[in-house]
Amino acid sequence: MSPIFYVLIFLAILLALEGLRSFLEDRRRRSRVNSRKRLKRLASSLRRAELADPNEASLLRREDDRSIAERLASLLPGRDSLELRLYRAGLTIGAGRFLLLSALLALVGAVGGQILFPARPAALGLAVLGLLPLMHVGRQARKRTRLFEAQFPDALDLLIRSLRAGHSLTAGLHMAGQELPDPVGSEFSLVADEVQLGQPLKVALDHLAHRIESEDLPFFVTAIAIQQETGSNLAEVLDNLAGVIRERFKIYGKVRALTAMGRASANLLAGWPLVMVGALYMVNPDYVAPLWDTKEGHLMALASALMVAFGYVVCRKMATIKV
């Protein structure tokens, strides 16, 4: 075998050990730390950084980022956006460890592809495993955003009752943070903590709108900003906003029910070729062997994968309707 092959194996083992050590250390340190405590530490870092614009600085830079991976990640130009994506996904892993995990998966895929399929295109194809963490982050971020939007009307109701009882808006935000679960409780608790630490309410709410990519939050922030300038009835405005959000979720549920067939077709389109190739390989391996034994088979497999991916994207786009 080529010497470069042994070098790749050595690097894969080294990266695996480093990733395992970082994972175990991170898990042991935060085994009993919940999301709200983590967000309180974030609030103190926001105060020290004196963020005037949430787009100008990282929201998630922590004091305990001292590993080699984090130091290397700090040199990358897109670290802040990556940390924001990790935060929106509700993940506590740092940007450096995330990049280390992605590189490890890509290297393992490339080495495994070189072992299983000596042809170079197959090895490069399995290197796409390095994109799996990024896909997982995107999926978790969308899931956490939908959960926040589902809990948001209940948080508004709690704020409305607090305001009508005579409490201040900051006290209502703190109460919502104490009573409601993550993510809406954690985010409202962070806003209340920022205000208590000296941040203006508008700046703290801008940070909230920057951390959570929701279509409803800008209306909430604008309503509070207008109330502070004009002195309108905030409880009534928030009551109307909560009603609009609930009606939108009703329509969203109906749309998802009507487009369920399109999403199922997209999933079937993406998974059925793999099922068929696997079934044919179990029945007659020689029948599908040209796919990875010949150059023409590699080209056919690549073209098929591209067409399946294109069809999946088209079906998902057709079944996605914004409400």
Tell me what pLDDT residue 49 has. 42
Average pLDDT over residues 77-103: 79
Query: Quick one: pLDDT at residue 179?
Result: 87
Whole-number pLDDT of residue 132: 83
* Range scoring the smallest mean pLDDT among 40-49, 118-127, 150-159: 40-49
Encode pLDDT of 144-202 as tens digits.
998 998 899 999 999 999 888 888 888 888 888 888 888 888 889 889 888 888 888 88
Cβ-proximal residues to 179 (8 Å cutoff; 6+ apart), any chain: 158, 185
Alpha helices in the chain (DSSP H): 3-29, 35-49, 68-73, 79-88, 95-116, 120-126, 132-164, 169-179, 184-196, 201-211, 217-230, 234-258, 260-283, 285-288, 290-293, 295-318
For residue 270, the model assigns a pLDDT of 84
Provide the pLDDT for residue 65: 46
List, in sequence order, the alpha helices (H) in 165-233. Answer: 169-179, 184-196, 201-211, 217-230
Reading the block at residue 7, the tokens are 């070098």
Q: What is the pLDDT of residue 319?
A: 77
322 is written with which tokens? 């914004």
Place 128 in a pLDDT band, splitting at 50, 70 and 90. Answer: confident
pLDDT of residue 264: 86
Amino acid at site 64: D
pLDDT at 113 over 80: no
Residues 6+ apart with CB under 8 A from 102: 130, 131, 132, 133, 134
Residue type, 91: L
Q: Is it the case that residue 25 has pLDDT exceeding 70?
A: no
What percent of the chain has a predicted confidence (pLDDT) above 70? 72
Confidence check: pLDDT of 29 > 70: no
pLDDT higher for 193 or 56?
Answer: 193
Cα–Cα distance for residue pair 111/287, rounded to 1 Å? 26
Q: What's the mean pLDDT in 240-266?
A: 86
Distance CA 194, CA 128 (A): 41
pLDDT, greater one: 309 or 71: 309
- Residue 259: Cβ within 10 Å count: 15
Mean of the per-residue pLDDT values of the chain: 76
Count CB neighbours of 286 within 10 A.
8
